[in-house]
Amino acid sequence: MHKQLFQQLQQGNIKALARTISLVENDADGFEEMLTNLPASNTKIIGITGPPGAGKSTLVDALTGEFVKRGKKVGVLCIDPSSPFNMGALLGDRVRMSEWYNNPRVFIRSLATRGSLGGLNPRIIEITEVMKAALFDVIIIETVGVGQSEVEIAGLADTTVVVMVPEGGDEVQTMKAGLMEIADLFVVNKADRPGAESFVKNLRLMLAPAFQKKQTEVAVLQTIALQKLGVHELYEKIVEHQLTLSGSEKHYWLLAERAYHLIQQKRMFGVTKPELFKRIKEYSGTFNLYKFIEGY
């Protein structure tokens, strides 16, 4: 990894940042050494998740505006489904966020899930650490919205915002308990639609058991992101939540979660199913699955 590129990154150079993310995403030689030299950072991560069609991109756009208004520098990572042909991001145009592309305070990058089931990019932890080094005040990650496995964002974000819409009654009924528990904030977007008040009321009733477990009530907010209504209140709640994080149990659990993921990833490096298939096929003697995996 070029020393000059690393220096430019720490000066907030956007081109250097874009290039470094590409190197990390593609496992370029020397990227791990660069990561071990990254400075400590207090940059907070906001995770925006929820089902497709909930208006996550529009909400991220409006929320970015709230931070920029206050002179903050914002990094936005949009995780998109992968193209089956080149593993690139399918929704990379991000038309709804086009007003920020030339703003010096905002950096937007689309990342592909590359087959990752949790709705995130396999190198998302490393990429966020690189972005923290580029002097951002806050990083917003918008997940692809893949259903129940969205809980993966909880292991990465300091504040997890789950976005729903009033028509999502069935989704709430079938929602995995884990998703209920990972939310630090719930947002009912498109709240001008019929049945919004009733939906919010039912959502609060369903969340009651999760509140008791967490011993703290999770706010349920209403927004109309297209009209930027309720977004200021959401911003305030996010800031309020992040003030409680320093030195908290959640802070240490987040670090433990990230460390666990990276160790797991490192130990599995180079292990592929075709390679396992070949070795098993060539295995001589009585095959014992547990003895076979001892060498890994």
pLDDT tens, position by position, 12-40 = 899 999 999 998 888 888 888 888 888 88
Residue 230, pLDDT score: 96
Tell me if 262 is assigned to some domain.
Answer: no
Between 94 and 85, whose confidence is greater? 94
Examine the domain organization and report whether 12 and 54 are in the same domain.
Answer: no
Examine the domain organization and report whether 19 and 50 are in the same domain.
Answer: no
- Rounded distance between C-alpha atoms, residue 285 and residue 100, angstroms: 63
Tell me if 296 is assigned to some domain.
Answer: no
Examine the domain organization and report whether 23 and 138 are in the same domain.
Answer: no
Tell me if 210 is assigned to some domain.
Answer: yes
Examine the domain organization and report whether 58 and 144 are in the same domain.
Answer: yes
- Could you give the 3-state DSSP secondary structure of residue 181? helix
Examine the domain organization and report whether 21 and 151 are in the same domain.
Answer: no
Query: In 3D, which of 195, 175, 193 has the Cα closest to residue 183?
Result: 175
Q: Tokens in use for 45?
A: 């991560």
Between 245 and 225, whose confidence is greater? 225
Examine the domain organization and report whether 31 and 45 are in the same domain.
Answer: no
Examine the domain organization and report whether 73 and 220 are in the same domain.
Answer: yes
Query: In 3D, which of 32, 20, 25, 24 has the Cα closest to residue 266?
Result: 32
Examine the domain organization and report whether 7 and 70 are in the same domain.
Answer: no
Mean pLDDT check: name the lowest of 17-26, 85-94, 126-135, 242-251: 85-94
Tell me if 266 is assigned to some domain.
Answer: no
Run of H or E residues at 74: strand 74-80
Residue 95's pLDDT band (boundaries 50, 70, 90)? low
Q: Which residues pair with 140 in a beta bridge?
A: 46, 76
Average pLDDT over residues 67-81: 90
Examine the domain organization and report whether 139 and 33 are in the same domain.
Answer: no
Residue 234, pLDDT score: 97
Strands 219-222 and 138-142, sheet pairing: unpaired
Query: In 3D, which of 252, 179, 186 has the Cα closest to residue 217?
Result: 186
Residue 285's pLDDT band (boundaries 50, 70, 90)? confident
Residues 6+ away with beta carbon under 8 Å from 193: 165, 166, 167
Examine the domain organization and report whether 54 and 31 are in the same domain.
Answer: no
Examine the domain organization and report whether 200 and 152 are in the same domain.
Answer: yes
Mean pLDDT check: name the lowest of 79-83, 141-145, 251-255: 79-83
- Rounded distance between C-alpha atoms, residue 190 and residue 56, angstroms: 11
Tell me if 60 is assigned to some domain.
Answer: yes
- From residue 43, give the alpha-carbon distance in Å to each of 26, 75, 236: 24, 10, 17
Residue 90's pLDDT band (boundaries 50, 70, 90)? very low
Tell me which of 229, 246, 263 is where a domain ends. 246
Tell me if 293 is assigned to some domain.
Answer: no
* Cβ atoms of 82 and 114 closer than 8 Å: yes
**Residue indicated by tokens 């909880």:** 154
pTM: 0.83
Tell me if 256 is assigned to some domain.
Answer: no
Residue 86's pLDDT band (boundaries 50, 70, 90)? very low
Residue 82, pLDDT score: 47
Between 65 and 249, whose confidence is greater? 65
Question: Could you tell me the CATH number of the domain that includes residue 198?
Answer: 3.40.50.300
- From residue 133, give the alpha-carbon distance in Å to each of 6, 129, 150, 159: 9, 7, 26, 19
Residue 273, pLDDT score: 85
Residue 168's pLDDT band (boundaries 50, 70, 90)? low
Residue 93, pLDDT score: 41
Strands 138-142 and 74-80, sheet pairing: parallel
Residue 274, pLDDT score: 86
Examine the domain organization and report whether 87 and 206 are in the same domain.
Answer: yes
Residue 214, pLDDT score: 59
Q: Tokens in use for 95?
A: 């038309």
Q: Is the pLDDT of residue 147 over 60?
A: no
Tell me if 281 is assigned to some domain.
Answer: no
Q: Is the pLDDT of residue 201 over 50?
A: yes
Using DSSP, how many helices (H) and how many strands (E) does the chain show?
12, 7
For the chain, what is the domain count? 2
- Could you give the 3-state DSSP secondary structure of residue 221? strand
Can you give the residue range of the structural domain that contains 189? 38-246
Q: State residue 221 phi and psi, 5-degree precision.
A: -105, 155
pLDDT in tens, 170-190: 555 555 555 666 788 999 999
Largest CA distance in the chain: 69
Q: Is the pLDDT of residue 105 over 50?
A: yes
